[in-house]
């Protein structure tokens, strides 16, 4: 399956399993969503469970809060990453705080799907990486799959979670295909657990979402050049599975963190600080970071210069090895 098809299959299974699961968003019904992730679901489950909403992200999320408080499990789609900001107040002021505010008596089983990142040649406001805004907000789980198998499993885990989950989907990976076992139990790995994708001995690259495929490319090139690189797919951005990262760093002694978002105040900064604190005597060099430039996302013709690639990752790995 492609990642988009895997997400569709995961949502279908979640809806079959629980009649309280409802999908909401702009053009997700008859059209099946801009990226066709919800294609066919309104036809099969009806327009009372797959709801085409007005063009009002704040209203979509606000309505979903009420549904969640009444026992439903709403799944909201934000059509593009740059459109999440009108709903930002609802998410950080209400969604993130309600369960804590009532001491857990009322759950907030709400999933907010956000296609994010660049690489598709889109226009302004359609290629952003806002994940750190939400990872910084206590009370939210923030996760992102990098492949079809994880997308299928993790969307079901997110929907079943009693905490609010902001589910970032790497839009330029929607069409990349992989093996998916639809019968695999969603309990195989917890939603917050990172995964060692490729084992190595010389350096670690920790990445998430769209950057995992790029990190794997860097690892393949590195191996040809005689450098053994371990690649970690973080999967969860809040909470972060530091145990897996630190175990890898204790083995390799070097860490590069990669993401599309700007390096300044990005998730890589928190990981670098934590690893430097907990693995100080195992590090052979400072933790390096690779990310987007400290500018607004550029026009599509320039995005290949903005987005981190395998060469930039390998440059930082080389700096680690030479330190």
Give me the active site residues, please.
126
Residues in CB range of 140: below 8 A, 6 or more apart: 91, 92, 95, 96, 134, 163, 164, 165, 166, 238
- Separation in Å, CA 28 to CA 51, 76, 176: 7, 10, 21
The number of helix segments (H) and strand segments (E) in the chain equals 12, 12
Q: Quick one: the chain helix, strand, coil %, rounded to 5?
A: 40, 20, 40
DSSP annotation of 53 reads: P
Could you give the angle at which helices 310-322 and 211-224 cross, rounded to 10 degrees? 60
Q: How many angstroms separate the first and last alpha carbons of the chain?
A: 42
Measured distance CA(227)–CA(222) in Å, rounded: 5
- Are 71 and 45 a contacting pair, CB within 8 Å? no
- Pairing of the two strands 73-77 and 50-52: unpaired
Residues 6+ apart with CB under 8 A from 122: 80, 300
């Amino acid at each position: 399956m492609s990642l988009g098809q895997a997400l569709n299959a995961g949502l279908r299974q979640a809806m079959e399993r629980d009649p309280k699961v409802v999908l909401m968003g702009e053009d997700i019904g008859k059209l099946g969503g801009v990226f066709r992730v919800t294609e066919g679901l309104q036809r099969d489950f009806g327009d009372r469970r797959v709801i085409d909403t007005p063009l009002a992200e704040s209203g979509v999320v606000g309505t979903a809060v009420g549904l969640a408080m009444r026992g439903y499990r709403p799944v909201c789609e934000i059509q593009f990453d740059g459109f999440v900001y009108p709903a930002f107040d609802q998410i950080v002021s209400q969604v993130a705080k309600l369960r804590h505010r009532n001491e857990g008596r009322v759950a907030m089983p709400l999933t907010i799907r956000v296609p994010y990142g660049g690489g598709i040649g889109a226009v302004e406001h359609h290629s952003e990486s806002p994940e750190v805004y939400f990872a910084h907000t206590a009370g939210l789980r923030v996760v992102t799959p990098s492949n079809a198998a994880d997308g299928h499993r993790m969307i079901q885990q997110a929907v079943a979670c009693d905490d609010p989950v902001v589910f970032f989907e790497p839009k330029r990976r929607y069409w990349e295909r992989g093996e998916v076992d639809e019968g695999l139990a969603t309990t195989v790995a917890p939603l917050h657990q990172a995964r060692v994708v490729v084992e190595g001995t010389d350096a670690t690259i920790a990445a998430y979402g769209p950057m995992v495929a790029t990190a794997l490319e860097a690892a393949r090139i590195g191996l040809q050049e005689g450098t053994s690189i371990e690649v970690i797919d973080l999967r969860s951005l809040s909470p972060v599975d530091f145990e897996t990262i630190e175990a890898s760093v204790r083995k390799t002694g070097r860490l590069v963190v990669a993401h599309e978002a700007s390096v300044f105040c990005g998730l890589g900064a928190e990981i670098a600080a934590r690893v430097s604190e907990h693995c100080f005597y195992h590090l052979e060099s400072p933790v390096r970071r690779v990310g987007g430039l400290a500018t607004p996302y550029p026009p599509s013709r320039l995005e290949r210069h903005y987005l981190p690639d395998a060469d930039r990752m390998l440059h930082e790995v080389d700096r680690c090895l030479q330190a």
